[in-house]
Amino acid sequence: MQILKAAGLALLVSVPTSAQIVAQPSAGTYQRAVAAGYKAALYCSGIFNAGRTPEQIDGDELAGIYPDYDKIVPTLMANADRTSQSVSVAFDPKLPPRRAIWTSGHGCVTLPIGGTAPAGRKSTAAPSITPADPRRWPQGDAGIAPRPSLTLTGAVGKAFGTSYGVDTKTVGVIVVKDGQVLAEQYGRGFGPFVSNRTWSVGKSIAGTLIGLTNAAALKAPAAVPQWKVGDPRQAITLDDLLRMASGLHSDTAGNRTDAIYFGGATVDEQAVSWPLEALPGTRFRYANTDILLAVYATRNAIGEARYRALPSSLFGPLGMAHTVAETDWHGNYILSSQVWSTARDLARLGLFWSQDGVWQGKRLLPAGWMRTMTTPTGPQPASGPGYGATMWLFGAKQGLPDGSFAAQGNRGQYVMVIPSRHLVVVRRGEDPGTARFDIARFAADVAATLP
């Protein structure tokens, strides 16, 4: 990696030469384009949201990614321009590079090949990491003084090794009991104010935001205008989408939606296009598309002004100052995955969930919405934890008290809530490949150390 400076321009350049842009004959142009978009997106958000260096991102966020792109990404040259607050990644000598552009308060948007910044996305604010909030925890950062017992220190420390999963890579842990931070620890390059991508923890954030703004429409058909009169998909309700029970086709497990995340496609172009293959409400199939559609339907239901304010309606009151929700280039929030947050901010969110949607004595979520999110109805996963409306449901079968629930995401992101113990356990990871962190066992071990 080289750092070039000229006329006030700081340019971060990855090692490969331009000749290497065509050095992967086995990879088709589209696959290389998505790989380039992956690198542009993770570099952009990592540098400008989190203050990370390209070397750190290469070693953590881009290590052990999907096999489709794992061997391609290191060969691609990335340029991070701090003046334009953007990252470009060349992938084909005949085509423009992939670009991701950062805007203060909105994070990064990944453009289609040859695309330009959407109107209103040009930022004049210099990227900077928000400092500590002088208010007391949990609203701010003052007064946090972890007091772990020796046993708890051991449990948390073991999370940074391989005790809870071979090849796992923990980058942050925070334990909150009775509203107080008992333990907090970070891996190299991370800290209380360094964010990383939540991946599918964003789905539970989506469920929370929909509860704040669109709860009354839960049982109504999802507001997707592309599904015209006579379209059987009009039978899909918002509740079906939140419970992964839409019945829509998915071409991969989890419906990875790489084209939206990294390819420059948009929610209103791609997510709305999948056909039915099961009756709505009769089958559980975990799919990014269901949550993308739930949030898109909420955009259509509540109007543009309220939709734009969705993240701030939650992050602001909870003091989640280091959290940002990103969009596609049509302005659709990608709340199935594309949120950047810190362990502390997710601990605040877990505490909010554990308090039934009440914060600092004020009810924010409608009464009963947390019960909706954490109650299984209809079809369920064939094995493992159950599923509510964007929450994974744990209990005795997983070695945890009944009523436990979690938000969880790719590469080892977990917010485990054990209401009966007034306990929140957050684990942030950058687990590579097939490595899996055992969050249930870790949370049980933490709980066992506490009175």
pLDDT of residue 120: 67
> What is the domain partition of the chain in residue ranges?
2-110, 196-448
Query: CA-to-CA distance for 20 and 16, rounded, in angstroms?
Result: 6
Query: CA-to-CA distance for 203 and 300, rounded, in angstroms?
Result: 18
Q: What is the DSSP letter of 47?
A: I
Q: Please state at what angle helix 150-158 crosses helix 439-448, rounded to 10 degrees.
A: 170
Which residue matches tokens 């007391």? Answer: 136
Query: CA-to-CA distance for 52 and 18, rounded, in angstroms?
Result: 25
pLDDT of residue 122: 67
The one-letter amino acid at 98: R
Query: CA-to-CA distance for 292 and 294, rounded, in angstroms?
Result: 6
Residue 38 to residues 34, 87, 335, 412, 416, Cα–Cα distance (Å)? 6, 11, 17, 18, 28
Query: CA-to-CA distance for 153 and 166, rounded, in angstroms?
Result: 20
Residue 260 to residues 49, 112, 201, 218, 336, Cα–Cα distance (Å)? 20, 10, 17, 25, 11
**Dihedral, CA atoms, 333, 336, 338, 342, nearest 10 degrees?**
120
Instruction: Please state the length of the chain.
Output: 451
- 136 bridge partner residues: 142
Query: CA-to-CA distance for 397 and 347, rounded, in angstroms?
Result: 25
Query: CA-to-CA distance for 369 and 358, rounded, in angstroms?
Result: 11
Query: CA-to-CA distance for 165 and 377, rounded, in angstroms?
Result: 31
Q: What is the DSSP letter of 237?
A: B
393: closest CA among 378, 382, 404? 404
* pLDDT tens, per residue, the chain with 451 residues: 443 333 333 445 443 433 333 334 457 999 999 999 999 999 999 999 999 999 999 999 999 999 999 999 999 999 999 999 999 999 999 999 999 999 999 999 999 999 988 776 666 677 778 899 999 999 999 999 988 777 888 999 999 999 999 999 999 999 999 999 999 999 999 999 999 999 999 999 999 999 999 999 999 999 999 999 999 999 999 999 999 999 999 887 778 899 999 999 999 999 999 999 999 999 999 999 999 999 999 999 999 999 999 999 999 999 999 999 999 999 999 999 999 999 999 999 999 999 999 999 999 999 999 999 999 998 999 999 999 999 999 999 999 999 999 999 999 999 999 999 999 999 999 999 999 999 999 999 999 999 8
196-448 belongs to CATH 3.40.50.300: no
pLDDT of residue 148: 78
pLDDT of residue 252: 79
pLDDT of residue 214: 97
- 427 bridge partner residues: 173, 414
Contact by Cβ (8 Å): 442, 411: no
Contact by Cβ (8 Å): 48, 85: yes
Query: CA-to-CA distance for 291 and 240, rounded, in angstroms?
Result: 10
The three-state secondary structure class of 338 is coil
- 102 bridge partner residues: 108
